[in-house]
Structure 1
């Protein structure tokens, strides 16, 4: 009996590797919304801590300068001087990039999924959608400005390394420095208000019995953070802090 030739022998078929669970989750709309919710909550916690630190400006240069120095010594002696701040910045940057990427991809996916009838009669986006979209753009641009202003001290007119109080006063003493900050913080308040509610829906925290309470928490959180952040530039521009 003749043996089969190599050409006629059945070769084992290769199956394509299945994507990991995390990749599958990221590719889904539900996964992207979950990433937005978790990264948004992480950034919200940072904003609360950041606002409380900013309010030390009302206690004078010694308090806020000492607070800034303390942040750089966190983790010692395990971490070197300033390492904690850089680790926090990298985590925050990752959260911002994940949040923005998921939001952009969801927006593109939503546009592709629109029915054909909207080609000639486009459905207008809701107020919340417009607020989240443009608020995100404003905040993204503000983050770049804020880093150049009070982190790298590139655009600050009278910046001096190691003197946060003096740098804050110098920044908000200009009409454009204070104005940019005020506009960005108003956008932040609206973004938090709608984002908090959206994150609660994504994470399944909302239900008919808790909706009113969650909306109240969202409104209160947005109002307190906005007022807290705005109090510093307003105090500088009105001469309360100088």
Structure 2
């Protein structure tokens, strides 16, 4: 008697990932993770206005979080690993959804309408810009590979050295403007995907998206602008 062959069923996670709804959920969830990190990161960056001792002390404290249960810098590496996974999943899901969208509409429309906002139309390019910036930011202020000063355990001095150059400050400013547009549209899209929106809450969510994008942009831009104008040195 021939043995019946069984076809292995894909797991629930695999089915979820393969679906359009699942990919959008992954994008929304990872977007929330990265947004929370950005808020904390911006607040930490603003400590630069309290001087080198305060800023360097804060950076040193980050390496000791979780002690003695965690060894030196373990917490930072856990955060970096979660962020790296979030960035990869977010980017892959965005790319695959984009390809599906193109495949579903192989022919261009005869009459194109620009109903989407500028942030929506530039969402993809904004993501590319931010992805490239992350690589530059790591090489500049984490590994110190391209940093003009490149002195370990002196984050304040390294940050000032980077933003004192026209390209260091310029790259950061362009990236933060792209971030503003990305957050403005991404926050709203994530709310829709996760089911947080409704007819009554739409205006509130749109206002929250605009306010959050503006606050983060001003907070992040204040640091390079302060360095480039000599307010912080």
The two structures have a TM-score, normalised by structure 1, of 0.92
Structure 2 partner of 1:64: 55
Structure 2 partner of 1:159: 150
| 2:86 paired with 1:95 | yes
Question: CA offsets per residue over residues 4-24 of structure 1, 9 Å max, x none?
Answer: xxxxx4x13212111011100
Find the aligned partners of 1:83 and 1:95 in 2 and give their Cα distance: 18
Structure 2 partner of 1:13: 4
Structure 2 partner of 1:104: 95
Structure 2 partner of 1:6: none
| 2:163 paired with 1:188 | no
Moved over 2 A (4+): 120-130
Find the aligned partners of 2:58 and 2:208 in 1 and give their Cα distance: 29
Find the aligned partners of 1:106 and 1:51 in 2 and give their Cα distance: 30
Find the aligned partners of 2:194 and 2:183 in 1 and give their Cα distance: 16
Find the aligned partners of 1:149 and 1:217 in 2 and give their Cα distance: 32
Structure 1 partner of 2:29: 38
Over the aligned positions, Cα root-mean-square deviation in angstroms equals 1.4
- CA shift, 1:128, in A, is 3.8
Structure 2 partner of 1:49: 40
Structure 2 partner of 1:217: 208
More deviation, 127-136/196-205: 127-136
- SS at 2:5's partner residue? coil
Q: Could you say which structure has the larger radius of gyration?
A: 1
Gaps of 5+ in 2: none
Find the aligned partners of 1:128 and 1:234 in 2 and give their Cα distance: 24
